[in-house]
């Protein structure tokens, strides 16, 4: 059984695959896997560049000394918070866009939109530009945050349940790496050309955006099975599991993106690091957190996303306590260790929570299939539709956590001249997260029989 080639209707109409059955092993091995992997890798590249542009201002503030740009610490925290806010809001319509336009077609549009803030910054990135102008461009840079939701929703539809954890982990981890890579590029520019050359950063990324756009044009596909399925988002919003998962994702992804944007400013204000000294450390956490995200997904495939998520939140609370202890004794090495551990654990949690989404809704669909009058194929199709929508919703809600972290640090430094009060708040939140994981999933009685293995599966084992 071979996989049908996509039908082409030109650039605007796109390449559509009408028959897609990833759960059918013969279909998958006959070519479905090859097509899915091709779409995955070009999706990873586009999402990677999107994350870089989303976190662009977290790097640019290192090029903006207060004496030259007249923007104080509080103003810089607001500046790096603005893309987080806009990117969070955009994740919902970006999720819906996959169903309206097709995954490949929307990747083209979303990649093209990244050119807007980069070109504007190429024009306005200099001393004398008003703070209002920078805030407007920072808001436009939020389009990079939306790419994650549409990319994950699209890739979720391409892969069978048994490989979703790994595929979604690779897609998200490769995208998350964009945060670390742009910080490394910024470090290289600061070290070689100084803080007076921020436009070099833009000169690097504008051609990369064009490459991402062309990759989507020539190598990605749309799936007809998810086209015009706009009702999935509304149905997902009515399901209580959507909001529990979204809450947990605030703790994992919200932490990752919030710490990524705030790390450099925290080092400068709490430990007196120069922009170059801060830049030599800020990339480490996002790099390790991104690289380990697929490990979180793969580990969840083996032992269950619920178990990994529970113990990971415990580890996140411990990591935040290390940062508090390091702050009290003014130990920069210990503080960096604690902060990097927060990145690593948030990366693992990102992978495990996203693995839970398709598994939870698959279990729920199978458990209620008799009551709803579904056969196995109908149940799995419903699970695939809803989990794709939930991935977008959770991505949007989770990203708001990044905004909250930056605002928490801003308030903490204003009131205590230290990040410790903010870290205590984070410890309390992580404690709530592991309690919710235990109560809602580890103690759940919802169970179903896996049609492939004949074994019982439950929320606790997914």
Instruction: Identify the band that residue 92 occupies on the pLDDT scale cut at 50, 70 and 90.
Output: confident
Please provide the average confidence, as pLDDT, over all residues in the chain: 87
pLDDT above 60 for 448: no
Do 406 and 58 touch, CB atoms closer than 8 A?
no
Comparing 344 with 368, the larger pLDDT belongs to 344
Cβ neighbours of residue 94 closer than 8 Å, sequence gap 6 or more: 106, 110, 146, 147, 149, 150, 392
pLDDT > 60? residue 457: no
Q: How many CB atoms lie within 10 A of CB 234?
A: 10
Indicate left, alpha or beta for 399 from its phi (over 0: left) and psi (-120 to 50: alpha): alpha
Chain segment 116-126, per-residue pLDDT in tens = 999 999 999 99
Label residue 169 by pLDDT band (50, 70, 90): confident
Cα 175 to chain centroid, rounded: 7
Higher pLDDT, 165 or 61: 61
Render pLDDT for 388-439 as a digit per residue (tens, 0 to 9): 788 878 888 888 898 899 899 989 988 888 889 999 999 999 999 999 999 9
pLDDT band at 247 (very low <50, low <70, confident <90, very high): very high
Amino acid 172: pLDDT:
82
Q: Residue 10 pLDDT > 50, yes or no? A: no
Q: 428-445 pLDDT, tens per residue?
A: 999 999 999 999 888 765
Mean pLDDT of all residues in 158-177: 84
Considering 18-22, 320-324, 418-422, 456-460, the range whose residues carry the highest mean pLDDT is: 320-324
Q: Rg of the chain over CA atoms, in angstroms?
A: 22
pTM given for the model? 0.80
**How far is it, in rounded angstroms, from Cα 187 to Cα 179?**
13
The reported pLDDT for the residue numbered 300 is 85
Question: In this predicted structure, what is the pLDDT of residue 166?
Answer: 79
CB neighbours (10 Å) of residue 454?
7
Q: Could you write out the DSSP letters of every residue in 91-149?
A: HHHHHHHHHHH-HHHHHHHHHHHTHHHHHHHHHH-STT--HHHHHHHHHHTTHHHHHHH
Q: Which residue has the higher pLDDT, 80 or 49?
A: 49
Q: Which residues, listed in sequence order, are joined to residue 8 by a DSSP beta bridge?
A: 15
The reported pLDDT for the residue numbered 95 is: 83
Residue 419 DSSP one-character state: S
Q: Are 189 and 149 in contact (CB under 8 A)?
A: no
Provide the pLDDT confidence category of residue 11 given band limits of 50, 70 and 90.
Answer: very low
pLDDT of the residue at 447: 53
């Amino acid at each position: 059984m071979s996989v049908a080639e996509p039908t082409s209707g030109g650039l605007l109409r796109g390449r559509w695959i009408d028959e897609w059955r990833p759960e059918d092993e013969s279909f998958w091995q006959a070519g479905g896997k090859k097509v899915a992997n091709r779409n995955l890798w070009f999706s990873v590249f586009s999402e990677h560049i999107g994350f870089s542009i989303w976190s662009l201002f977290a790097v640019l503030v290192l090029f903006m000394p207060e004496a030259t740009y007249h923007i104080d610490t509080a103003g810089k925290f607001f500046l790096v918070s603005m893309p987080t806010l806009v990117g969070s809001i955009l994740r919902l319509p970006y999720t819906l866009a996959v169903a309206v336009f097709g995954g490949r077609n929307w990747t083209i549009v979303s990649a093209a939109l990244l050119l807007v803030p980069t070109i504007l910054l190429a024009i306005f990135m200099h001393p004398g530009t008003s703070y209002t102008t920078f805030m407007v461009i920072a808001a436009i840079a939020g389009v990079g945050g939306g790419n994650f939701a549409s990319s994950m929703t699209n890739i979720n539809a391409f892969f069978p349940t048994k490989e979703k954890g790994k595929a979604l982990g690779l897609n998200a981890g490769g995208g998350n790496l964009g945060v670390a890579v742009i910080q490394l590029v910024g470090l290289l520019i600061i070290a070689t050309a100084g803080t007076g050359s921020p436009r070099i950063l833009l000169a690097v990324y504008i051609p990369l955006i064009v490459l991402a756009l062309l990759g989507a044009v020539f190598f990605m596909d749309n799936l007809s099975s998810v086209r015009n399925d706009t009702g999935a988002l509304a149905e997902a919003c009515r399901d209580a599991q959507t909001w529990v998962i979204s809450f947990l994702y605030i703790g994992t992804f919200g932490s990752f993106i919030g710490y990524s944007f705030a790390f450099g400013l925290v080092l400068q204000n709490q430990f007196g690091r120069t922009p170059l000294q801060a830049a030599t450390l800020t990339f480490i956490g996002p790099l390790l957190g991104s690289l380990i995200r697929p490990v979180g997904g793969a580990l969840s495939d083996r032992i269950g996303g619920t178990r990994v998520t529970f113990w990971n939140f415990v580890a996140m609370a411990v990591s935040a306590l290390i940062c508090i202890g390091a702050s009290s004794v003014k130990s920069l090495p210990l503080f960096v260790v604690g902060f990097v551990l927060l990145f690593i654990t948030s990366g693992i949690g990102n992978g495990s929570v996203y693995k839970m989404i398709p598994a939870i809704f698959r279990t729920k669909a199978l458990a209620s299939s008799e009551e709803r009058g579904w056969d196995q194929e109908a149940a799995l199709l419903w699970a695939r539709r809803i989990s794709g929508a939930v991935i977008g919703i959770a991505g949007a809600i989770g990203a708001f956590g990044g905004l909250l972290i930056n605002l928490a640090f801003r308030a903490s430094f204003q009131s205590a001249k230290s990040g410790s009060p903010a870290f205590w708040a984070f410890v309390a939140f992580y404690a709530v997260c592991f309690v919710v994981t235990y109560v809602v999933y580890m103690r759940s009685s919802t169970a179903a029989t896996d049609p492939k293995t004949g074994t019982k599966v439950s929320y606790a084992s997914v």
